[in-house]
Structure 1
Amino acid sequence: MDTLHLGLGLVLVGLFFFATAYLATRAAPALRPKENDLLTAQSLQGNLEDAVLVVRSGGRVTAMNERARQVFGLEAGELPDLERLARRIRPPDAFLGLCAAEGQTHFTLDDRFVEATSYRLAFSQEILIVVALRFPELAAELAGQETGASAQTLRTFTELSAAMAASLDVEETIQAVMENVEKLIPADFLEITIWNADTQQLTPYRYGWRSVSQRGLIKVSAPYRHVEGTSGYLYRERSPLWIHDLSQRSDLRLEPDRMPGARSFLGVPLMVGREFVGTLELGSRTPEVFREADLTLLRLLSGQAAVAIHNALIYRQEKERSAELSGLSQLAQAFGSARDPRNLFSRLVESIAPLLRVEVVGFLLYNENQRMLEAQIPFHGLPDQIVELYHAPVPVNSTAEQMLLDQDVLISEDASSDPQWEALGLSFVAQAASLRETVLVPLNSGGQMLGYLQAANHPEGGSFSPSELHLLTIIANQAASIIENATLVQQARQRAQRAEALRRISSLAGSAATLDEILRYSIQELTRLLRADVGAIYLLDSSASQLQLHQASLFGAASLPDECRQLLVDQPEFPFTITGSQRPLKIDFLSDSDAVIPFYREAFRVWGAQSAIGVPLIVRSEGIGELLFASREARFFDHADVQMIATAAGQLAGSVEQMTLRSQIDETLRRRL
């Protein structure tokens, strides 16, 4: 039988008699002996190596043997409260839990490892908790320095190893390792770093106080370089590092915010075979606090910890790879399920965002008609108000145009100050959106440059790794094909819709419908086709010598004030109108445009417009009116829209002329009769 169980059996037998006698003396106070005499008389010395204390319900210590007084530093006859005893134990909750209910656990008492067991004894209405503390020399036993490790010692070490490997989540595994190391080796600071081969950096995790009442894992945002400090030494040497007094090692000073006030240090590399996984490091504010036994224990535990963390890292990599494959398969589904361009980009971004550990991801497309690089809504991590401003012109023969033609991956560590972003005209957006590390991956389909896939801002900072760039390239190649196909489908559908709309307008223009009916129906058709907010037509009244709104055809808005409804041809503004200049009008930002004459500006203000297009109605080289469309969104129209309404304007101009001539002939005939 295990010596611990034999000893505890003797202790429990003695305690049974002790508790019986103790309760009997409560019934007869005059016959009750002193507690210390009872404790001595009832064989609590059956195992002198164990410290035993008895706790009554409510948490009051009733008795303890001499060994318990020694380990807790108490005077003879002194019975302190549990809170005082718990202050010397780490973690204290484990000890207090044993004093409240039956169980087994392990912790440290004054830097010594303790195996603790508690039993619940019931006597009539009295409940006692008997707590036995054993102090095995765990490091010596496991290292084979004694006759051999006891079954209890081996069981304890097995439990620690099982706890560290219980989860495949990386952070849960790291926390389990730290919790078990803290139980064996008390330290003021406890830290594990994980090696990232892609970035050649160490990602640190600390175990400490998250709040006033809660201890747990704390991930440090700034990674360590593999050549710096104690972690760098462990990485280079692949051997333990034991420093009695850090003040004597100027070559291995810790960073100011790392282990502040630490005087002694103990660390080991985490290795699986020859593969470096990371480091396990402890610090104390007291010099020369760590012992040879602590180093032995740490080396023994580091092997199990390295395997557990390595397995968790492999599992995370496989899980991420599976998620990547699943996400990439969803990209292909985005094209088949999205009809509207906004829905397409929404589904693309929703599929891509989970694959990347970034805060910002989205698409920048090159609008060839407007020669503009434009961000597409939605843009993960950026509000729509910022995205609406996220665009830049690409002038002919400019640096920005050359960068698009080169189709290179653009990587920036700080986009707000990067010359490449300044050349693209996007530095102001980078500053407004607080973009840090950023990558622009070209969207290339069949040799045609469509734009960029952008990813930016790791949650923990740091550069983009080669594996991340490889994944972004794969995503960009698939997304480029999807976007090009969707664009071709949209253009084909749009061309068919516009051709059908122009056919209907042409058919109506040649029908017997009145001029008001032709103009009203045509404006409605064109406004809906353009998805504009307002559509109107102005006609030149030669008899009144003024450009006048055709009220019956106004679509999408109420009537305008008089100053916006008509303009005399002899006013200074008329030569700058669409009719007077016989030139099309295209305005992307009405709020920033100074070229808009007051006649138009007041109408746009009433409509709440931000962008507008217009074309003249021309007959025999003379302007007879104009078509005007407005949107409450900036940069809403493109040159293809202008070309389409110009075609419609040609058909409507002929109808207006025919109707005008017919009206003039009818008037002449009436006068003759």
Structure 2
Amino acid sequence: RRRLTEMEALHRAGQALLSARLDPEATYTAVHHAVTATMPCEAFAIVLEGEEEYRGVYLYDKGGRVPPRSIPKGQGLSGRVISTGQSVHIRDYSPESDIPAVHVGDPEPVRSILAVPIRQGERTIGMLTAQSYRPDAYDESHRIFLETLATQFAAILENTHLYEQTRARLREVETLYRSAQALSSLMTPQEIGRRLVDIMADHLEWHHVVIRRYNPSDETFDILAYHLPEETIEEQSAEILHHLRDAVPDSRSGLAGRAVREQRSLRVPDVTREAGYVPTFPGIRSGMYVPIRRGKDILGVISVESTRPNAFDEEDERLLNALAHHAAIALENARLYEKTQQQVRRLSMLHTIDSTITSSMDLRLTLNVILEQAIKGLEVDAACVLLYDPAAQTLHFAAGSGFKSDILKDVRLHLGEGYAGRVALERQPLYIAALSRDTGSLARAQRAAGERFVAYAAAPLIAKGEVKGVLEVFRRSPLEYNDEWKQFFQTLAQQAAIAIDSAQLFTSLQRSNIELTIAYDTTIESLVKALELRDKETEGHTKNVAELTIRLARAMGFEEEQLIHVRRGALLHDLGKIAVPDAILHKPGPLTEEEWEIMRRHPQYVYEFLSSIAYLRPALEIPYCHHEKWDGSGYPRGLKGEEIPLAARIFAVADVWDALTSDRPYRKAWPKEKALEYIRQQAGKHFDPQVVEIFLEVIKGRQ
């Protein structure tokens, strides 16, 4: 049950993380709630790695949030977990530990510490830690749960980062796309230059801008367009323009020339510290210098300068690079726009896969969704997943889509065998551009099957450091494996690995729970058999009355989950008689009042025996209350009417019916009609009238 609780917490956390993916604070809170719902956690922290330091982005201690804070890299618990990529489990912290005392917020050091790395692929990007002021608060299952949650969290962080990057890029490129349309309609370099200046004015703050055309034959510049400070008077413009032309006449001069020579953009926070800077206006402090390129050909350079130091940031530089690119090739803009749209589509595909992983534990369904998205997003014709069997050390076909034949359905590959076996063994992706030139078994088989695949790629599916399988994709025409394609391919492989790992973990937990339930019920039945061996008079009675009780409870609308507890309660109803002495239990004659007093205690005994066992607690209504009577004359507590639990009221009827219609050493079984009449007479006295009514209908149907 605990493992099921953990899986339910992971499922809820996955749903919460998915809905909060664009809100970091909500994401952190969802992770915290998942942890506190599953394990002891008085203190909690999420630490992420930055460029120069660690950042405690979410800190919680003793019932309240603690302000985020910076943590020096490599130090303390964070340094240990992030640098090694290994979980840390401290059962009872002592000052002699090689990790300094851990304080999330409270000055008192914690006692139990469980910290796991947050990994994205092979890289550790942070740490989740649950902590308690009690010693020995965590065990192995807590570690597995926290590591699984960290894997979910890492996937959400990665996808959120991609989503935010793509959104910013999309906003930028949408603006640039509109600009490129205007640029592409212009026919002269001067018009393009002037239009480019107008576009830049809407997005950048500057002192002045100059766009120079580059002449590769003599490495000189011509000024295409410029924008001078607002205070410049018309009479000064010609003189200033002449100065700008003379200051940077060719690619050997100034920072603009350097950008052309190095074929890269320059963003200079303080031009006064640059040896190659040629002054243009007094007071200039910072600048950007971006070449206008078409492939490897330099067409010109854009110079933007400001009187403020460090006036331009990475976004400005990116924008200017994009504008320069549009000015060179309008068609390139269309390509960039399509590229961004592709990123958006791929992100949507990742969202679809995320939703499937967090909403379903059906591995086949999840793999089919992943393969469908892989075929669309990677623009391939077919894809399949091979699962790894660690016992046999082989890969076997699990799911596929887009194939014309069944060439892979019976495949069995050992590690190192074939392309997929090699990928699994080496844990590295493989890209083959021309299967037609390959002589391997896969190439021969697919040609024989008429698949006519040209390109092939495979990536290992790795979760928590273990190989789960291989993702393979195929295309019937040539395929360019650029960096973005490879990154998306490997991201899909990571998603597939997470899905497989989650499904396998869920299956394992289900199997363990079933085995545990069977063990519990077998133990109960053994106890009942032991009791019946002691009390020969009631041999078989427990099983009969349990079956009838379940039938009555089902007829009265009990859910199947409730019936489990009803059955257990019926089986255990007389377990308290273990505490009754044999002299009383087996006495052939009538019991004395003192002996009856002892006998009537057996419901109290069974309650005392079993109430401390959590999984049996819901089943105690019958053992504890089956001798209570509707009119309040029963025992042990004299409950009356609906004060008596319904399950016990149902059992009381079944118990008396079976006792009356069964042979006993001291009497023969009553005829059924006589027993039915007795039960009718006891409605409203011993029995609940409604239960009696249902009982009579069930018995009638049974007969």
Q: Under a length normalisation based on structure 2, what TM-score does the superposition of the two structures give?
A: 0.31
Please state which structure has a larger fraction of its residues in helix: 2
Q: Under a length normalisation based on structure 1, what TM-score does the superposition of the two structures give?
A: 0.33
Over alpha carbons, which structure has the higher Rg? 1
